[in-house]
Structure 1
Amino acid sequence: MKIILYQTDQSPPARAVKMVIYILGLDVEQRELHPVLREQDTPEMKKKNPMRTIPFIDEGDFRLSDSHAIVIYLVEKYGKNEHRHLYPKDVRKRANVNQRLFLDCGILFRQLQFIMGPVYQGQMSDIPNNIIRGIKTAYWMLEAYLNDTKFLADDVITLADICAVATVSSLDGLYPVDGERLPKTRRWLDTMQAQEFCKVKNEPGATQHVAYLKLCMEHNRHTQSKL
């Protein structure tokens, strides 16, 4: 059965999955879900995806949520020899990729969630200092991991880079990576954004995501000024 991907372009995790699909050359049906409108909360969607997160895939008798689990599954099942560097067989290399994937979901994306939730709920008009400190800390972690390798887990691009760039490209639009203080992170981000898969499947959605968040914050400032 043809894979159905439920996604929205503004979602960093969905963009990560779309980049992997593009790299693998898979023919996938895409269906739009709008998380702000809570379209993932319908009874049909909750049955398919109890986590109610975006993205998730439906392959008939098999469904899977969480972008990190999805990209691993897609590479393991559909990847060819030329794709093996994305999720290497070597146990230690794979462990490094996994750890950086956990870094993305547990630290990087959390910084973005600390912004998105309050902004969408009308509670945040500017990014507060405590969240900025968290973003800076996350960036410094990336800088440290890039001390020994060109990319986050190896000297070649892996799934860790693809997932992280989807997140960081949105964060960078809200609080830019300082190239003077974080030269390795800035170089990594620029290198990733120059990749064709990133230009085609990440850049448009990231631009929309950042613009929408900034628009919401401006709206929140305007609303709060009237109170």
Structure 2
Amino acid sequence: MAKPVLYYATLSPPSRAVLLTANLLGLDLELRPVNLLKGEQLTDDFIKMNPQHTIPTMIDADGAVVYDSHAICGYLVDKYGEDDKLYPKDLVKRAQVNARLHFDSGHLFARLRFLYEPILYSGSTDCSMDKIAYIQKTYEIMEEMLKEHPYVCGEDLTIADLCCVATITSVDEVAPIDEFKFPKLLAWMKRLSELPNYQKINQEGADELKKVFKEILTNNRTKQK
């Protein structure tokens, strides 16, 4: 039987969220790496497949094309999951998961991109305290989400946790997390780090992204001197 094909990059937090989801589902994917820094997502063939030219992009075994990490994660649970724990079918619970997914895309990941993209792609050197503080404000929201529960949607792990942790671990050294202000957030991150194959699937790519970001920022600053 053909496998779903995933176009991805280990540097990409959304790609890693999908990989974490597939891993928990026991789903084997055919992985096709895309080098974002070389613009491989901008080829005519890729844009024809995904007009937004974003990764991850998935082609399912039946030929269906799905893109946006949150859409892919939900799709995989609905189609391949033995149960709905990661993405509950109950309307109230699913709405809560969707709200957290929108929090990731509209706040966490959006603010990461606001800081990272100009530096990675446009030669910027703007790593100002304002941009860092803008990211850190999301930690306050996360701390409140986790105030009385182990996961962002309550007592059970969902795809919202996987998406959020892939983003936060990609920026936590650049926008540090204060252990005294955000103990619940740090405890949640540790809890997620104990998932099967987490280090290889998520942490290695997150660490590499932070390393690349710092190297390119240094190079950009050198060029502007």
Q: TM-score, normalised by structure 1?
A: 0.94
- SS class of match (2:85): helix
Cα root mean square deviation, aligned: 1.3
The CA deviation at 1:148 is: 2.8
Instruction: Identify which range, 36-45 or 162-171, moves more after superposition.
Output: 36-45
Name the amino acid aligned to 1:75. Answer: V
Higher helix share: 1
Shift of 1:122: 4.5
Partner of 2:210 in structure 1? 210
Counterparts in 2 of 1:34-113, with a 5 A limit?
Answer: 34-59=35-60, 60-81=62-83, 84-113=84-113
Looking at structure 2, the residues matched to 122 and 102 of structure 1 have their Cα atoms a distance apart, in angstroms, of 27
Give CA deviations for 1:188-216 in whole Å, capped at 9, x if unaligned: 11211232242231011111111000111
8 A Cα contact 1:19 1:162, kept in partner: yes
Task: Map Cα deviations across residues 47-78 of structure 1 (whole Å, 9 max, x no partner).
Answer: 11111001000125210100000000000000
The code of the aligned residue for 1:58 comes to I
Partner amino acid, structure 2, of 1:51: Q
Provide the identity percentage.
36
Gaps of 5+ in 2: none
Spell out the pairing of 1:162-181 with structure 2 (5 A cutoff): 162-181=162-181
2: CA distance between counterparts of 1:197 and 1:47? 33
Give the secondary structure class of the aligned counterpart of 1:212.
Answer: helix
Residue 6 of structure 1 is matched in structure 2 by 7
- Match in the other structure for 2:28: 27
Q: What is the match of residue 140 of structure 2?
A: 140
Matched residue type, 1:220: N
Q: Residue type matched to 2:150 in 1?
A: K
Offset, 1:126? 5.2
Query: 1 CA distance for matches of 2:165 and 2:135?
Result: 14
Contact residue 122 and residue 220 of structure 1 kept, 8 A: no
Which segment is superposed worse, 193-202 or 15-24? Answer: 193-202
Separation in structure 1 between the aligned mates of residue 184 and residue 211 of structure 2, nearest angstrom: 26
Distance, in Å, in 2 between the alignment partners of 1:198 and 1:217 is 28
Shift of 1:181: 0.8
What is the TM-score when the length of structure 2 is the normalising length? 0.94
Deviation string 1:136-190 (CA, Å, 9 cap, x unpaired) is: 2111110111123211012121110000000000111211211101111111112
Where does residue 124 of structure 1 map in the other structure?
A: 124
Task: Tell me, in whole angstroms, the C-alpha distance in 2 between the residues paired with 1:25 and 1:113.
Answer: 30
Contact 1:122–1:216 at 8 Å: present in 2 too?
no
* Structure 1 Cα separation of the partners of residues 156 and 80 of structure 2: 20
SS of the residue 2:66 aligns to:
strand
8 Å CA contact retained: 2:132, 2:174? no
Query: How far has the Cα of 1:116 moved from its partner?
Result: 1.7
What is the CA–CA distance in structure 2 between the aligned matches of 1:217 and 1:200, rounded to whole Å?
A: 25
Number of aligned positions between the proteins: 223
Q: Which runs of 5+ in 1 are unaligned?
A: none
